[in-house]
């Protein structure tokens, strides 16, 4: 049976949550005075949950982060050091293609963002109809931009060039940003060396087995601790834990600093993914820093069927090896060969063995094999994508 997704604050717990008869358990995001500090899975009984009954388990699950959050509150200290900092102007960009119902949910959430003065752009990437254009027309102040060339990285570059804000924050059309999402992203740009900020992404729903498997296999949330990444303290080739394209923001000047997104990568191209992580790597290699802030929260609707989930995982495998190929060929990062070797023998192969023997906590074998097949295709898909771009006379 599906799992309910709940968002609870320890400082304001309800006495009773009902109406959960369709679920046998719940995935709970735990907050303390609005700050996300952890999560937990709990069983449900007769379609209801009394938070007081699971309160001890919740406290145990978040004890370290709760102590830190309480101490920061007591000392009135913000680790982002924003005293006197005036947040820069911002543009929110959603790159979309033929997913109007998802986009409508995203736009409804953006209408509730804390603060005002930010710009919202919808980049309609090679659509097959006018549904998105008609939807955007219902939201005054939201700017519609048609990008006829297919490719997510092409749409991202279009957004960066069209944006009026100093900071461009990207969210996916199938994501739902928290009301404080943009506010918390912007707080991290108080250091000029910070070129990118990523946030935490939680599952919007866990209605199917495939969605639960995806959340366990490839979660977009990267933990509840704020982290600062720089090339002298973190391997620029290992960017998987930095964040994801569904929740990221850049200085608009990133185009001059490191160049544009590689338009041979990501959705809408043979590589299927990898554009966000390749860009993260290039930012670190250029000497800039990236901040991951879990307070910049949004929610993502994972693919609902096994077919969609398997395709997505395969696409991630293609994208990883595609962007590693790009780093090897264009950035001359020869260390990627050793890194690839270590990832296969240190993670991928052991995961496959654990799954074959049915070890507790192992991932579904068909997802592991789908990713591995994608990895094998990655280099060839990247060259195929580059050839396609060259045929359209695009500088790659």
What are the structure tokens assigned to 24, written together? 């046998």
pLDDT category, 300, cuts 50, 70, 90? Answer: very high
Residues β-bridged to residue 95: 123, 172
pLDDT in tens, 240-269: 999 999 999 999 999 999 999 999 999 999
As a whole number, mean pLDDT of residues 263-291 equals 96
Which pLDDT value is given to residue 116? 77
How much is the pLDDT for 115?
Answer: 81
Output the CA angle 225-24-106, nearest 5 degrees.
55
* 40: pLDDT strictly greater than 60: yes
Q: Using 50, 70 and 90 to split pLDDT, how confident is the model at 394?
A: low
- How many residues are recorded in the chain? 396
pLDDT at 396: 53
49 falls in which pLDDT band (50, 70, 90)? very high
Q: Indicate the DSSP class of residue 347.
A: I
- The whole-chain average pLDDT of the chain stands at 94
Closest of 324, 223, 242, 329 to residue 288, by C-alpha: 242
| The pLDDT of residue 84 | 76
Percent of the chain whose pLDDT exceeds 90: 84
Of 167 and 396, more confident: 167
- At the fourth CATH level, the homologous superfamily of domain 90-307 is Spore Coat Polysaccharide Biosynthesis Protein SpsA; Chain A (3.90.550.10)
Let me know: does 190 contact 303? Beta carbons within 8 Å. no
Q: Which two tokens stand for residue 337?
A: 């060969």
Q: What is the pLDDT of residue 79?
A: 80
Q: What would the mean pLDDT of 298-324 be, rounded to a whole number?
A: 96
Q: Which residues of 261-279 are buried (b: 16+ CB within 10 A; e: fewer)?
A: bbbbbbbbbbbbbbbbbbb
Task: Name the DSSP class of 199.
Answer: E
85/225: higher pLDDT: 225
Task: Look at residue 86 in the predicted model and tell me its pLDDT.
Answer: 87
Q: Which residue has the tokens 């507790």?
A: 360
Domain positions in the chain:
3-75, 90-307, 315-391
Write the pLDDT tens digit of every residue in 152-209. Answer: 999 999 999 999 999 999 999 999 999 999 999 999 999 999 999 999 999 999 999 9
Under the banding of pLDDT at 50, 70 and 90, the label for residue 78 is confident
Q: What is the mean pLDDT of residues 80-88?
A: 81
Instruction: Report the alpha-carbon distance of residue 17 to residue 46 in Å, rounded.
Output: 11
**Calpha distance 290→338 (Å, rounded):** 24
pLDDT tens-digit profile of 203-229? Answer: 999 999 999 999 999 899 899 999 999
pLDDT at 393 over 70: no
Q: What is the pLDDT of residue 74?
A: 86
What pLDDT, on a 0 to 100 scale, did the predictor assign at position 83? 74
pLDDT value, residue 19 = 92
Structure tokens at 80: 């982002």
Higher pLDDT, 319 or 237: 319
**Residue 333: is its pLDDT beyond 80?**
yes
Give the mean model confidence (pLDDT) for residues 286-291.
96
The H or E element spanning position 368 is helix 365-391
pLDDT surpasses 70 at 88: yes
Report which DSSP code applies to 88.
P
| pLDDT (0 to 100) of residue 230 | 95
Which residues are CB-contacts of 209 (< 8 A; sequence separation ≥ 6)? Answer: 306
């Amino acid at each position: 049976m599906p799992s309910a997704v709940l968002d609870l604050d320890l400082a304001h717990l309800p006495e009773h949550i009902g109406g959960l008869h369709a679920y046998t358990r719940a995935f709970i995001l735990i907050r303390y005075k609005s700050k996300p500090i952890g999560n937990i899975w709990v069983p449900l009984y007769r379609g209801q949950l009394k938070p007081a009954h699971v309160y001890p388990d919740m406290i145990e699950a978040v004890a370290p982060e709760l102590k830190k959050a309480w101490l920061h509150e007591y000392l009135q200290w913000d680790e982002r050091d924003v005293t006197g900092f005036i947040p820069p102007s911002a543009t929110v960009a959603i790159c979309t293609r033929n997913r109007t119902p998802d986009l409508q949910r995203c736009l409804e959430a953006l209408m509730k963002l804390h603060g005002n003065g930010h710009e919202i752009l919808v980049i309609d990437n090679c659509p097959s109809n006018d549904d998105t254009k008609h939807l955007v027309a219902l939201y005054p102040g939201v700017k519609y931009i048609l990008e006829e060339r297919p490719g997510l990285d092409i749409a991202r570059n279009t957004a960066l060039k069209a944006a009026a804000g100093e900071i461009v924050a990207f969210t996916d059309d199938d994501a739902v940003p928290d009301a404080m999402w943009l506010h918390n992203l912007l707080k991290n740009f108080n250091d000029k060396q910070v070129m990118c900020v990523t946030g935490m992404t939680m599952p919007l729903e866990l209605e199917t087995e495939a969605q639960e498997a995806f959340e366990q296999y490839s979660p977009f949330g990267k933990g509840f601790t704020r982290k600062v990444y720089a090339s002298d303290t973190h391997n620029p080739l290992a960017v998987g834990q930095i964040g994801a394209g569904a929740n990221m923001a850049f200085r608009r000047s990133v185009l001059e600093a490191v160049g544009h997104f590689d338009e041979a990568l990501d959705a809408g191209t043979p590589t299927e993914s990898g554009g966000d992580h390749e860009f993260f790597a290039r930012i670190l290699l250029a000497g800039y820093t990236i901040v991951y802030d879990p307070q910049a929260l949004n929610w993502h609707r994972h693919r609902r069927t096994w077919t969609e989930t398997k395709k997505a995982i395969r696409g991630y495998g293609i994208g990883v090896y595609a962007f590693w190929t790009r780093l090897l060929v264009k950035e001359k990062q020869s260390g990627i060969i050793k890194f690839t070797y270590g990832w296969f023998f240190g993670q991928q192969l052991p995961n496959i063995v654990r799954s074959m023997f049915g070890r507790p906590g192992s991932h579904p074998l068909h997802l592991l094999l789908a990713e591995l097949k994608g990895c094998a295709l990655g280099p060839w898909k990247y060259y195929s994508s580059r050839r396609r771009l060259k045929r359209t006379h695009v500088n790659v």
